[in-house]
Structure 1
Amino acid sequence: MGTHRGGDRGRRRDPDPGARRRQRSVSIPASADETATPTPDSGSNVAWSAQARTSLNATDAKLAKRFDQGDEVDRLVALRARAADQLLKEAWAHCVPADAPLALFAVGGYGRGELFPQSDIDLLVLADADAQQACHAQLACFFAMLWDAGLPVSHAVRSAGQCTEAAADQTVLTALIEWRALVADETAQAALAAAISPQQVWPPRDFFVAKREEQRMRHARFGDTSENLEPNIKEGPGGLRDLHTLGWMALRTFGVRELEPLIGLSHVGPDEAAALARERRALGRLRYGLHLVAGRPEERLRFDYQKTLAERLGFPDDQETLGVEKMMQGFYRSAAIVRRISDRLLQRFEEQFDGEALPEPLDDAFALRRGYLAARDPSWPQADISAVFALFAMWASHPEVRGLHSRTARALAEALPQLPPYEAASPAQRGAFMALLRMPRAVETLTRMARLGVLGQWIPAFAQVSGRMQFDLFHVYTVDQHTLMVLRNIAAFSSGRADERFSIAHEVWPRLRKPELLLVAGLFHDIAKGRGGDHSELGAVDARAFCAAHGLSEGDAALVAWLVEQHLRMSVTAQKQDISDPEVIHRFGTLVEDRERLDYLYLLTCADIAGTSPKLWNAWKDRLLADLYFATRRVLREGLEQPVDAEARMHEARESARMLMAVQGFSPGTADELFAIMPAEGFLRFRPEQIAWQASALRNVVPGETRVRVRRISDAGNALEVFVHSPDRSGLFAAILATLDRMGFGIHQARVLDGPHGAIFDTFEVLPADRHASSDPAEVEAVLGAALDGPLDNVRTSRRALPRQLRHFRFAPSIQFGVTPDGKRSLLSLVAPDRPGLLSDVAQVLRAQGVNVHDARIATFGERAEDVFQLTDAGGQPLAEPTQQALRDALRASFET
């Protein structure tokens, strides 16, 4: 084997790891004189390369114009491959003598006759060892001319025997089996075919097993879902690589380059072949357009390109849906179809090698075939949705089932258009669906129904949100995928086991009267997204109609509709309002009205937040919602007609904290001494265990001392609670925020209380915002304490680059002022594009304006920061209009820098 050629000569590289492996295998033989001039006529080489570059650019421009005019992408990639063929043959003729014992082949995607605008050109030169050495200079000339022309060539120079050796790597074989002769006689073609034949390397079954495992691992790299915010068109699940994999298997097993010939062999149905061809064209058009707008080898639909690509493909914005959302919905739906059909075909390939096993009857209607669930009647399901529901019931009853048998899956797909939606179904059929929701593994059943298209057929509104994305950083899944994630979280609650992520869910779940009602609410909570109007209200209408049609009582239907309509209320209350304020709890309790609604709403809220993004749920939100749940449950127990007695609440908190401190060894007298130096408001705003923790932190505190204490909010996760007791100084709040920001923490809540003798009692709940942040409480204490012991003017906000994704979601900030219900403080509501250091910069502005901060509710929703501050002026009064305007102007100026 030759050594790898040094130097790229401007060659572009495919970011695909498989392509990188192929590139490492490419080589031309080493020469004793690498610097020798390849041919005597270097001037003509340079001229040809310049002319070829011009020709290729002109071809690309023409093809881009035809693309924008709507030409079929299959024709465009074939024309571009043909243009490359011509240039390669010209360069070969220019450098390699006609009688040289060399042959040139296109391999890989180029071998298929496809060449996208930024794709590599994979080549193989076939020659024996002597010819490789003798023709080294000519080959060096050939490849140098191609690189100088701007052709992104990846190449290998091998003998037939070396091809056999290299093909031991199935990735190399995959590229070689798609060979296409460019300059090669019949003898060379036969030699290559023989060198990589199944008799030499990788028999069909072994190749199938290897490629199937490769696909499984590739899917796992993407979380086994195509519903990512920035999906990979080529490599992701349901992408073009899945289609290529089917083609490779067909080529190795049956010797055919397309799936259509397999129709006659009953391995592929005509409808399946047509669907895959349609989705291949759709995905190919996305990929071609992405290469054009990116201007570089790019396979991910990154935010950098999504809007530009949607505009180029002609997806317009309207009042309800952005064009980019329409484009992405099309991609997600294409990927889902590819995955669905691919699963069936892979199973048929397996049966081709292993044979079809005898059925193992389960009952009169269903049997197992090699572990796959199959309908026994060849005419199943005959457009009878009851028979379809019976299939899913049987599936749920047999956890050992590997999946749906390919013939049954195909029969189901063909029957889908004839299956009735629930509005047109019989009462018995609707009852069968509800029976599935009451069975064990109901969520797994709903997930299977969604993946196979049955759920969208039964509930047409669900089909409308299938693949629907929202162009923001908050919703990381499509609506249907998010819905299924919410249902999975609900299923986790039903296990009865304590889950460290959801501290009280396992206690609340057993109190649900009818758990299936929570599943229905979860199924419908976002089902009206994209229609315009309030999706919660529209979804509640849909949910009520569904419940009525399925025979639920009026009370149950009203509960489900209420949950859908109010599914955001608990989250908003917990994250944007002061839930330590009895008035806030009373208002929320008035909305909820009873304990049953509270139980259902709490679980739906937890499942919804955790199902929106893997990063969104954390220990802080868990505790926040649990606090709101318990506070509301108490209000409901005591009666909504009872007036809020703040003094009684403070007394009760003091007594509970004293009992906790007694367990820690504090005498009642010592506890009272510590309580005396703490702000009275804290006994209303904090939980007893927080009060006890803060009090114990003040033991032996010296007047004028700054004391910092940090602890984990829970044993699980890395959320921290930070307590700062210090003499009040100008800029203290801003210095704390700046230090925490520099340490890599995001602040989610800040409570600032004034204690006796000019001391402050500040509490922050924080989470690491980047990978450099330490979650070690002792380290945070030391760093923050050292910063506050020094001059506060030296504490500055760190400047960090804006993350790439945030650059594409900029909008005008909103700054609004209000007043707290008691009229004693001003409320500043700030909605702005999130960025590193935003909160710290806001704190610096507040400091410069001489404004006191008493409370801060910090919430980040993807690219949006939505913060609420309670403020007073230097005299402790609400901000006057001139002060508000000055603060508004200063904040806007800080956002523009």
Structure 2
Amino acid sequence: MSSASTSVIPPSPRLPEAVPRSGLSDEARLALRQLLADYARALALAFAAGAEARALGAAHAALVSRVVAQVWTLHLGEPVGLALFAQGGFGRGRLYPHSDIDLLVLARDESVPVSRGLERVFAVLWDLGLKPAQAVRTLAAQHALAAQDLSVYTAQMEARWLGGDRALVGMPAALLGDTALWPLPRFLAARLHEQAQRRARRGDGSYRLEPDLKDGPGGLRQLDLLYWLGQRMGLPRELPALAHAGLLDAAAAAALESAEALLARDRYALHLQAGRAEERLLFDHQRALAQQLGYRDDAGALAVERFMQDYYRAAASVETLVDEAAQRLAWQLDPPPAPIALDDDWQRRGAALEPRAADLFRRRPAALVEGALRLDAAAGIEAFSADAAGAMRGALHALPRGALAQDAAALRAFDALLHRGAAAPPALTALARGGVLGALIPAFAAVSGRMQYDLFHQYTVDAHTLRVLAQLALFATPAAALEFALAHALWQRQQRVPVLLLAALFHDIAKGRGGDHSELGEIEVRGFAQRLGWTEGDIDSAAFLVRWHLLLSQTAQRQDIGDPQVVQVFAARVGDVQRLEMLYLLTVADIVGTSARLWNGFKDRLLADLYQAARHVLTGTDASLDEIARAAACRTAAHAQLLAAGHAAAAIEQLWEDFPAAAFVRQGAAQVAWQSAALLAAPGRLPVVAAQPHAARGALEVFFLAADRDGLFAAATAALEGEGYAVQEARILGTPSGRALDSFVLLDAHGAGHDAACIARLCKRLEAALRAPGTPRIAQTVPRRLRHFQRAPRIHCEPARAGTRTRLALRGSDRPGLLADIAEAFVASGVRVHDARIATFGDIAEDYFELTDRHDRPLDAAQCERLRAALLARLGPAATAAAVSRLALREPDEHA
């Protein structure tokens, strides 16, 4: 989009003269409606040509004000004791293309007749397409309501006279002059409380996937808070006035001016794109807006990602600077205790840290980092003061580019900060918020506000990184012992916490450059650790963690960790127990820091199992490679459990004569005993279905024994998905007599739980599906969010299990019924499934299968091609069409 200009704003059209109380004829009503529509189109064209959104909003509000005033005059004239006021954004003199117009009718007192003419006024405004939101009150009622309701009071602050009795023009301002009505300290406290509640409801709204431009943190409403505070102080609604009053410094005022212009631009464009008063940047609009506003794809990022990065940076700036202004005002109203000197450079004021000399940061830039060493929540020093933060930004702006990154004293201070362990992440967050972290590590500045256009990454890269660091610090607390028991235990014995923290800081730092961010990040962390003066051993460990930070989760979710060879290869890559422990901690923190919804009991158990198995290998205590010994040990333990439960030894042995031999190698004794008990309780019956809560919290384990047939896996998966369960893992074993013993690990997609009634219903539905011929169909309506992320599937086949099977990896867009469609393709291609590992990452499904043909032989090249064609045919035309899009070409890289 071209640079903003007010010169292209069309002049406001001339309205016909109004004859008081003459009413509005049908012809005049049509003419006014046409005039408003024509001007709206002219403003939209001006916006496309580069006009500034706030100026366009002012022009729109000016015309609407004249129209509303004329409609009032035509129907009511100038009634004595009754006046019309604009409120809200309309009262401030700014209207976005589809905003409502907030109106207030004030009557001097109850003796003033409120005529039916008002109803005609509002009806005409609706007919003109102006969407009025009106209130009619007496002055006394308005005063009483404003005293109780802060939103009413705030709306009154912006009331602007439009028509009616001119004697009432100053009434809203007169009410505001009542010193007992929301005095400034109470007004500030109430507004901050309201803001905190809004943040709590919306979460980290400025970093979410579909942020709210108006009411989200860092949105235009938060800027309004700053202006309202100024107005309550008697200041005009201008940033320079707020700076003059000491709430902002000049740099902050300039930054807020830029952020407000961008947010207003985005909101104006969003209204035009949506064709309604839409305030959320929904996926439905993001890509179109990016294109409309002139953003373009390049090798590092999509246009939509660049567009959203600008938004996130503006929102973060608003959040930070408005919070600082509120703190300054709070200190003006209630000065903190006298400063207490901490040393020659630093002092504290209440819970805030600040330099003793205003020029400290300019004299000695290393102090920008050293100050973080003084932040200590345990000692009651929680953050930099607003003035200190402003001074830090000023000093950073004055520094030559890259100077802080080469400052030896700053690097020493940063190294000391990392050595504070669990106390370091809050200080690192403070440095990031103030821009210091980006100046010290320029690569971090590059990912500030950077997002990835998908459903998996809920936070910008910098926000995600800080969440990962915070999660690592949480592992040190007693509160983590329940939900993150293994991580809490491992943290307690960590001797190289600085290495772990630096790896967390750098693990995603190369996002957006193209190429493998893990490999590029390894180069970055090596260079920085060398500047810190670390030993080669610590440098290598930090580099390993960054390069392989996805290894643990990818191995656990893509491969069969019950296979000793998989564990051996993984352990060999890790190399030693200390790195294994740090990798586990970083992996768990990374998953939770990506999205709390990604962490569940199944994933907890999966990662812990791989960690424990690899630890046994690395400590030389692993005896799992001998499959004969493993099977014998499982058989013995399961037999003992069944005997203890009252089952006869002869019955057990007879059952196991037709039990898959692989079951004793690839399942635990408890699982074998549970399956055997269910089968012993139903002798001669087929199918047998049983389910129980899985050892992993929140998961459900299901197995069945049934007569084998083509399509059995497809029928089972369709039934499970149809009941609202997401398959995480499947194991398909054949018995010597040709029956199928299949087991699944499920997660409830709807969070309904696993009570007895749910389990019984699931078993009943699964049993019915296994008895019925064919495969049941389930609804495949694609949710709104998923529709925007349809990618062409990637399909890859390779030998598995020493060449006895074929391993198929499938990666593509998730949707309801996907697994059932994949299973149908297997049936159509004459393929048998023996193992499946299923994972979903936002909008991406990543599934792995071990397959053979119907004669239990690996697939040849021709069979693989037929299977590929069958899969592509069933995975939908939208996915195939998306193959030509940029989204289809980029490989998602997180925990998948």
**What is the TM-score with the length of structure 2 in the denominator?**
0.90
Distance, in Å, in 1 between the alignment partners of 2:405 and 2:864 is 59
**1:677-716 map, 5 Å:** 677-714=658-695, 716=697
Give 2:814's aligned residue: 834
CA deviation map 1:422-470 (0-9, x unaligned): 8754444322211111114111111121122111111110010011000
| Alignment of 1:518 onto 2:500 | yes
Which residue among 398, 401, 410 is the counterpart of 1:429? Answer: 410
What secondary structure sits across from 1:126 in the alignment?
A: strand
Which residue among 276, 285, 292 is the counterpart of 2:272? Answer: 292
What secondary structure sits across from 2:578 in the alignment?
A: helix
Matched residue count: 854
Distance, in Å, in 1 between the alignment partners of 2:67 and 2:480 is 67
Which residue among 402, 425, 430 is the counterpart of 1:448? Answer: 430
Which residue among 98, 101, 117 is the counterpart of 1:138? Answer: 117
Give 2:227's aligned residue: 247
Give 2:137's aligned residue: 158
Give 1:506's aligned residue: 488
The alpha-carbon distance between structure 1 residues 758 and 337, as it changes in their structure 2 partners (threshold 3 A), is: same
What secondary structure sits across from 1:103 in the alignment?
A: strand
Give 1:17's aligned residue: none
Distance, in Å, in 1 between the alignment partners of 2:575 and 2:568 is 10
CA deviation map 1:531-555 (0-9, x unaligned): 1111111100011111111011011
The alpha-carbon distance between structure 1 residues 257 and 365, as it changes in their structure 2 partners (threshold 3 A), is: same
1:216 shift after superposition: 0.9
Give the residue type in structure 2 aligned to 1:376. R
Give 1:486's aligned residue: 468
| Alignment of 1:81 onto 2:77 | no
Distance, in Å, in 2 between the alignment partners of 1:693 and 1:427 is 63
The alpha-carbon distance between structure 1 residues 40 and 459, as it changes in their structure 2 partners (threshold 3 A), is: closer
1:337 shift after superposition: 1.0
Give 1:647's aligned residue: 628
Distance, in Å, in 1 between the alignment partners of 2:388 and 2:730 is 57
Give 1:210's aligned residue: 190
Contact kept, 8 Å, 1:735 with 1:788, in 2: the verdict is no
Which residue among 775, 780, 790 is the counterpart of 2:759? Answer: 780
| Alignment of 1:552 onto 2:570 | no
**1:400-415 map, 5 Å:** 400-415=380-395
| Alignment of 1:598 onto 2:580 | yes
The alpha-carbon distance between structure 1 residues 579 and 167, as it changes in their structure 2 partners (threshold 3 A), is: same
Give 2:618's aligned residue: 636
What secondary structure sits across from 1:505 in the alignment?
A: helix
**1:156-195 map, 5 Å:** 156-168=135-147, 169-183=149-163, 187-195=167-175
Give the residue type in structure 1 aligned to 2:663. G
Structure 1 segments unaligned to the other structure (5+ residues): 1-38
Distance, in Å, in 2 between the alignment partners of 1:502 and 1:665 is 37
The alpha-carbon distance between structure 1 residues 519 and 660, as it changes in their structure 2 partners (threshold 3 A), is: farther
What secondary structure sits across from 2:456 in the alignment?
A: coil
The alpha-carbon distance between structure 1 residues 661 and 57, as it changes in their structure 2 partners (threshold 3 A), is: same
The alpha-carbon distance between structure 1 residues 430 and 355, as it changes in their structure 2 partners (threshold 3 A), is: closer
Give the residue type in structure 2 aligned to 1:470. Q
What secondary structure sits across from 1:463 in the alignment?
A: helix
| Alignment of 1:417 onto 2:381 | no
Give the residue type in structure 2 aligned to 1:197. G
1:226 shift after superposition: 1.3
Distance, in Å, in 2 between the alignment partners of 1:643 and 1:346 is 62
Give the residue type in structure 2 aligned to 1:894. R
Contact kept, 8 Å, 2:78 with 2:163, in 1: the verdict is no
Give 2:354's aligned residue: 374
**1:456-855 map, 5 Å:** 456-495=438-477, 499-638=481-620, 644-658=625-639, 675-714=656-695, 716=697, 718-771=698-751, 773-776=752-755, 779-789=758-768, 791-793=771-773, 796-855=776-835
1:332 shift after superposition: 0.8
Distance, in Å, in 2 between the alignment partners of 1:668 and 1:496 is 47
The alpha-carbon distance between structure 1 residues 424 and 867, as it changes in their structure 2 partners (threshold 3 A), is: closer
1:676 shift after superposition: 4.3
The alpha-carbon distance between structure 1 residues 359 and 428, as it changes in their structure 2 partners (threshold 3 A), is: closer
Distance, in Å, in 2 between the alignment partners of 1:82 and 1:609 is 51
Distance, in Å, in 1 between the alignment partners of 2:537 and 2:652 is 50
Deviates more, 1:727-736 or 1:345-354: 727-736
Contact kept, 8 Å, 2:404 with 2:410, in 1: the verdict is no
Give the residue type in structure 2 aligned to 1:703. G
1:106 shift after superposition: 1.2
Give the residue type in structure 2 aligned to 1:147. W
Deviates more, 1:96-105 or 1:224-233: 96-105
Give the residue type in structure 1 aligned to 2:438. G
**What is the TM-score with the length of structure 1 in the denominator?**
0.90
What secondary structure sits across from 1:504 in the alignment?
A: helix
Give the residue type in structure 1 aligned to 2:226. L
Give the residue type in structure 1 aligned to 2:566. V
1:655 shift after superposition: 4.2
RMSD of aligned alpha carbons:
2.6
Give the residue type in structure 2 aligned to 1:574. A
Give the residue type in structure 2 aligned to 1:853. V
Distance, in Å, in 1 between the alignment partners of 2:479 and 2:73 is 73
1:883 shift after superposition: 4.0
Give 1:7's aligned residue: none
What secondary structure sits across from 1:867 in the alignment?
A: strand
Deviates more, 1:188-197 or 1:451-460: 188-197
CA deviation map 1:50-100 (0-9, x unaligned): 222211111111111111122122211111111111211221222122455
Contact kept, 8 Å, 1:748 with 1:859, in 2: the verdict is yes
Distance, in Å, in 1 between the alignment partners of 2:438 and 2:598 is 28
1:320 shift after superposition: 1.4
Give 1:16's aligned residue: none
Distance, in Å, in 1 between the alignment partners of 2:452 and 2:363 is 34
Distance, in Å, in 2 between the alignment partners of 1:325 and 1:131 is 59
Distance, in Å, in 1 between the alignment partners of 2:575 and 2:211 is 44
Distance, in Å, in 2 between the alignment partners of 1:559 and 1:290 is 47
Deviates more, 1:420-429 or 1:725-734: 420-429
1:153 shift after superposition: 1.0
The alpha-carbon distance between structure 1 residues 789 and 805, as it changes in their structure 2 partners (threshold 3 A), is: closer
1:728 shift after superposition: 2.7
Contact kept, 8 Å, 2:188 with 2:229, in 1: the verdict is yes
Distance, in Å, in 1 between the alignment partners of 2:415 and 2:156 is 53
What secondary structure sits across from 2:458 in the alignment?
A: coil
Give 2:127's aligned residue: 148
Contact kept, 8 Å, 2:81 with 2:165, in 1: the verdict is no
Distance, in Å, in 2 between the alignment partners of 1:100 and 1:627 is 81
The alpha-carbon distance between structure 1 residues 466 and 196, as it changes in their structure 2 partners (threshold 3 A), is: same
Contact kept, 8 Å, 2:345 with 2:360, in 1: the verdict is no
Distance, in Å, in 2 between the alignment partners of 1:505 and 1:759 is 42
Distance, in Å, in 2 between the alignment partners of 1:859 and 1:266 is 53
Contact kept, 8 Å, 2:553 with 2:587, in 1: the verdict is yes
1:662 shift after superposition: 6.9
The alpha-carbon distance between structure 1 residues 54 and 714, as it changes in their structure 2 partners (threshold 3 A), is: farther
Deviates more, 1:729-738 or 1:476-485: 729-738
Give the residue type in structure 1 aligned to 2:530. A
What secondary structure sits across from 1:871 in the alignment?
A: strand
The alpha-carbon distance between structure 1 residues 756 and 781, as it changes in their structure 2 partners (threshold 3 A), is: farther
Structure 2 segments unaligned to the other structure (5+ residues): 1-19, 878-896
Distance, in Å, in 2 between the alignment partners of 1:356 and 1:513 is 40
Contact kept, 8 Å, 2:720 with 2:762, in 1: the verdict is no
Deviates more, 1:228-237 or 1:779-788: 779-788
1:471 shift after superposition: 0.3
